[in-house]
Amino acid sequence: MLDCFMVKQDDDQYVCAYGGLNHYTKINIPARFYEKVDHLDFNGKQYSIPSNIEDYLTYRYGNWKVPINDGSWDYRKDDGSIVYSQVVNDEKISESP
């Protein structure tokens, strides 16, 4: 399966669209989260992350400090930045082994 991910800056926000065979999602993320970045080393590689990471995580995931262990969180529906989402086939997302 192939997913497609596109992003563009539109004034003070980034508009992202992604999807696959069974879903399409559009999200808006305020540009302020990407105006200044920090760097994180993970498994020998360096990644850019928003400098105000806690505010970013709260914007996207709500109360991200409290784990959801029942498998109910679905990135296609529950991301706080979603402005539009269509799930064509609501089958459970398969997890990587």
Going from N- to C-terminal start, the domains of the chain cover 4-86
Cα dihedral 96/41/29/13 (nearest 10): -140
For residue 40, the surrounding DSSP H or E stretch is: strand 37-42
3-state secondary structure of 55: helix
Q: If we measure between CA atoms, which residue out of 51, 78, 74 comes closest to residue 62? A: 78
- Res 91: pLDDT: 56
What are the pLDDT digits (tens) for 6-63?
Answer: 788 888 999 988 887 777 888 999 999 988 999 999 999 999 999 999 999 999 999 9
What are the pLDDT digits (tens) for 53-69?
Answer: 999 999 999 999 999 88
Backbone angles phi, psi at 58, to 5 degrees: -65, -45
For residue 83, what are the contacts with CB-CB under 8 A and spacing of at least 6?
A: 26, 27, 28
